[in-house]
């Protein structure tokens, strides 16, 4: 029976797992890892994850259904899409209005319309985000590494100066901050493989240089003081030698970046104004620009998020239509420009760009048709105000994902959802372990990659059972 974990239980267990990771010794790579079928031939070196935090409705974005305009007093179950459908670069494939720029570059990528999110009982955004990013359903007794941490560990840095795993746009001063921290980590792999955080890309340069007024000598003294504080903290008493060395290596890497010419990649003011203006739709748009610049300098994994904050962004419990309209203005230009820029410079050939969200949304169904869960926000079935027009309930049975570059097929559509409610996946459903293994396969990481943790194997996907979807890859 699936337990309905609440937020307190989630935090309690994941915090215990994090403390256990601090005390854990070095994870031992299995001698059998990668021996079954050998290493796949890599078609990509870098991954950019464009994270639509909060639950992006598939029928309002990349899988539109019948458009129904707002009428006061209308029945909510009449509404399948609140935007008109617009043509894309692919014949017969439509996106919803407001995403025309991304639609124009779909000849360079694949559209997945049949992602199915996990059934984890009572829906919490942070739990589903944890599952998407780590491939493991929370809570776990072992601190599960983020997808980016696995990639950083297995492939190492492309450029020893540039952090291998960079996270752009997520602040931890907003709601559910502790839950978000639970998966923004390398877990048992060690701190050196964890994310380098840039909460605001417009201030990215400030992340890689001393504060204003602090000279090099004073910064060096502060760095030494920081090391002393770590040595006197509970981490020094309870952390393993492996974890201690890992955090020191991460600090040394950050220090190298501070004194390197590559730090200019973080300075968005160096970008030509005409290009900067296209990306400048807010923190997410500038995050896409920074991701492009860091890719050119050798970053390995970059996550750019629209940022999860309860009842903001894609978390459209009300004002669903107007909120989605604003989010499209934020993402459409920057994402399409990112694809065009990477393609123009040749970087798209070896860079996988992924656009995804933790789950979708529907006007009527909370969860999935055969596994409905508790309603979290009261919404009327008869729409008397515009704020109720739009997708506001969590829906896990049909979600869209975009993938570009790095060996992913071009101009390809995978999967299908029903045209009538419930608009669930009806053809080629795909789950998160398959998504992760497809990415790993393109990067040349074997599907049976594992480490021994707490005297048991821990795989990149649960029990090592995930399989790549070869139909998504050009080499298939």
Q: Which of 168, 180, 93, 151 is nearest to 358 (CA)?
A: 180
Average pLDDT (49-69) is 97
Domains and CATH numbers, the chain: 31-205+266-472 (3.40.720.10)
Containing 345, the helix (H) or strand (E) segment is helix 320-345
Q: Taking residues 229-244, what's their average pLDDT?
A: 58
User: Quick check: helix, strand or coil at residue 403?
Assistant: strand
Phi, psi at 306, each rounded to 5°: -75, -5
Helix pair angle (125-134, 7-23), 10° resolution: 40
Taking only the tens place, the pLDDT of each residue in 137-173 is 988 888 899 999 999 999 999 998 999 999 999 988 8
Q: What is the pLDDT of residue 2?
A: 47
Q: Residue 4's CB: how many other CB atoms inside 10 A?
A: 13
Q: Which residue has the higher pLDDT, 366 or 465?
A: 465
pLDDT at residue number 7: 55
* Residue range 69-126, pLDDT digits in tens: 999 999 999 999 999 999 999 999 999 999 999 999 999 999 999 999 998 877 788 8
């Amino acid at each position: 029976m699936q337990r309905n974990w609440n937020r307190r239980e989630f935090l309690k267990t994941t915090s215990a797992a994090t403390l256990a990771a601090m005390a854990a010794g070095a994870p031992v790579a299995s001698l059998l890892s990668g021996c079954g079928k050998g290493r796949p031939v890599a078609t990509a070196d870098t991954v950019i994850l464009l994270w639509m935090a909060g639950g992006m409705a598939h029928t309002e974005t990349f899988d539109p259904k019948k458009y129904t305009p707002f009428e006061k007093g209308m029945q909510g179950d009449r509404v399948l899409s609140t935007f008109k459908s617009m043509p894309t670069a692919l014949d017969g494939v439509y996106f919803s209005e407001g995403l025309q720029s991304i639609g124009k570059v779909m000849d360079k990528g694949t559209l997945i319309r049949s992602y199915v999110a996990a059934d984890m009982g009572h829906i919490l955004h942070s739990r589903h985000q944890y599952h998407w990013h780590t491939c493991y359903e929370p809570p776990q007794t072992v601190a599960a590494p983020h997808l980016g941490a696995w990639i950083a560990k297995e492939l190492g840095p492309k450029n020893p100066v540039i952090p291998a795993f960079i996270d752009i746009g997520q602040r931890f001063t907003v709601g559910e901050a502790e839950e978000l921290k639970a998966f923004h980590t390398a877990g048992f792999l060690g701190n050196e493989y964890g994310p380098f955080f840039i909460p605001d890309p417009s201030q990215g340069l400030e992340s890689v240089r001393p504060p204003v007024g602090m000279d090099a000598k004073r910064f060096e003294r502060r760095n030494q003081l920081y090391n002393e504080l770590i040595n006197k903290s509970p981490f020094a008493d309870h952390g393993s030698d492996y974890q201690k060395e890992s955090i020191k290596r991460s600090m040394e890497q950050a220090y190298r970046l501070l004194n390197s010419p590559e730090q200019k990649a973080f300075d968005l003011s160096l970008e030509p104004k005409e290009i900067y203006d296209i990306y400048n739709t807010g923190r997410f748009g500038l995050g896409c620009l920074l991701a492009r610049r860091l890719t050119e300098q050798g970053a390995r994994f970059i996550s750019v998020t629209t940022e999860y904050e309860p009842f903001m962004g894609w978390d459209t419990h009300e004002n669903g239509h107007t909120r989605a309209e604003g989010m499209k203005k934020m993402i459409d230009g920057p994402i399409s420009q990112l694809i065009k820029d990477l393609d123009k410079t040749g970087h798209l050939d070896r860079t996988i760009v992924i656009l995804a969200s933790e789950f979708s949304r529907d006007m009527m169904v909370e969860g999935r048709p055969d596994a409905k869960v508790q309603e979290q926000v009261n919404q009327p079935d008869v729409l008397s105000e515009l704020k109720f027009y739009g997708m506001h309930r969590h829906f896990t049975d049909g979600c869209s994902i975009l993938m570009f570059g790095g060996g992913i097929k071009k101009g390809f559509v995978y999967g299908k959802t029903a045209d009538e409610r419930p608009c669930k996946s009806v053809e080629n459903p795909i789950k998160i372990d398959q998504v992760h293994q497809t990415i790993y396969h393109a990067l040349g990481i074997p599907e049976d990659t594992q480490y021994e943790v707490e005297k048991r194997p821990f795989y990149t996907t649960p029990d090592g059972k995930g399989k790549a979807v070869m139909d998504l890859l050009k080499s298939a």
